[in-house]
């Protein structure tokens, strides 16, 4: 994976901001929106959470997780498979704490129910179509006439570790 591809992926993640975190319980997959902080130097994505909760129990039982980001307005989409872990490090919680956290979690950052989730991506795939809807329609019409594949943007899969 090139440094350019990695930075393009990170820019998409920062641009969207909120991900859907997918975990597995005993019987099925569960998704929920979660706002995280990307650390570009390590590639880790961290989230604040409350314990105990279904998501922390699911992460504890099966650390394999997925994050998805979507921005339909910009035609950018990201899916990342990796591992998640629960962390109670006070310095990390302090670093992640923002004004919304107290309102959302209904407590102070020193409360023992506050924890962080560290998501470590292993594989990432992204789709990016920077062209307008008009250009995309043109590409599809051109492909129909010429029989050639339309130029619809980038799709890349990357090993992250």
Q: Is 132's pLDDT higher than 70?
A: no
Q: In the prediction, which pLDDT does 48 show?
A: 97
**With respect to CATH, is domain 3-159 assigned 2.30.110.10?**
yes
Question: Stretch 26-38: mean pLDDT, rounded?
Answer: 94
pLDDT the model gives residue 150: 66
What confidence category does residue 131 fall into, taking pLDDT thresholds of 50, 70 and 90? low
What string of DSSP letters covers 91-134? HHHHHH--HHHHHHHTS-TTSTTEEEEEEEEEEEEEEE--S-HH
Residues 54/30, Cβ–Cβ less than 8 Å = yes
Binned at pLDDT 50, 70 and 90, residue 27 comes out as confident
The answer to whether residues 31 and 65 touch, using CB atoms and an 8 Å cutoff, is no
**pLDDT recorded at residue 136:** 63
Q: What is the pLDDT of residues 82-122, one digit of tens each?
A: 999 999 999 999 999 999 999 999 999 999 999 999 999 99
Residue extents of the structural domains in the chain? 3-159
Assess contact for 50 and 111: CB atoms under 8 A: no
pLDDT at 155: 87
Q: What's the whole-model pTM score?
A: 0.86
């Amino acid at each position: 994976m090139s440094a350019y591809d990695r930075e393009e992926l990170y820019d998409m993640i920062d641009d969207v901001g909120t991900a859907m975190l997918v975990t597995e319980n005993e019987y099925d997959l569960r998704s929920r929106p979660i706002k995280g902080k990307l650390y570009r130097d390590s590639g880790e994505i961290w989230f604040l959470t409350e314990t105990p909760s279904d998501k922390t129990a699911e992460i504890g039982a099966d650390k394999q997780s997925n994050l998805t980001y979507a921005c339909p307005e910009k035609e950018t989409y990201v899916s990342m498979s990796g591992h998640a872990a629960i962390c109670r490090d006070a310095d990390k919680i302090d670093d992640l704490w923002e004004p919304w956290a107290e309102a959302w979690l209904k407590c102070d950052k020193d409360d023992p129910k506050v924890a962080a989730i560290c998501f470590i991506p292993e594989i990432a795939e992204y789709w990016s179509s920077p062209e307008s809807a008009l250009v995309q329609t043109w590409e599809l019409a051109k492909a129909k006439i010429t029989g050639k594949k339309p130029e619809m943007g980038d799709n890349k899969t990357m090993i992250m570790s």
